[in-house]
Amino acid sequence: MKNTLTLTAAEKKRFFEILEGFKKTHILVIGDFILDQFVWGSVKRISPEAPVPVVKVERESFMPGGSLNVANNIRSLRGQVCPCGIVGRDLYGRVLLKVMRKQGIETGGIVYDPTRPTSLKTRVIAHSQQVVRFDREKTDDVSKADLLKILKFVRENIKRMDVVILEDYGKGVMQPFLLKEIVRLAKKFKKPVLVDPKEKHFVYYQGVTCITPNRSEAYVGYERTHGACHQTPELETVGWGLMKKLKLDSVLITLGEDGMALFEKNRKLTRVPTAAREVFDVSGAGDTVIATLALALAAGAKMQEAAQIANLAAGIVVGKLGTATVAPEELEEAIKKAS
Q: Could you give the 3-state DSSP secondary structure of residue 312?
A: helix
Residue 287 a catalytic site member: yes
Do 254 and 219 form a contact (C-beta atoms < 8 A)? no
Burial class (CB in 10 A: 0-12, 13-18, 19+), 248: buried
Contact 238, 223 (CB under 8 A): no
Tell me the one-letter amino acid at 293: L
3-state secondary structure 97-142: HHHHHHCCCCCCCEEEECCCCCEEEEEEEECCEEEEEEEECCCCCC
Catalytic residue among 36, 113, 168, 287: 287
- The rounded distance, in Å, linking the Cα atoms of 226 and 238 is 10
Q: Which residues contact 267 (CB under 8 A, 6 or more apart)?
A: none
Question: Do 89 and 114 meet the contact criterion of CB atoms below 8 Å apart?
Answer: yes
Cα separation values, 79 from 68, 236, 298, 320, 329, Å: 14, 33, 10, 21, 14
Catalytic positions are 287
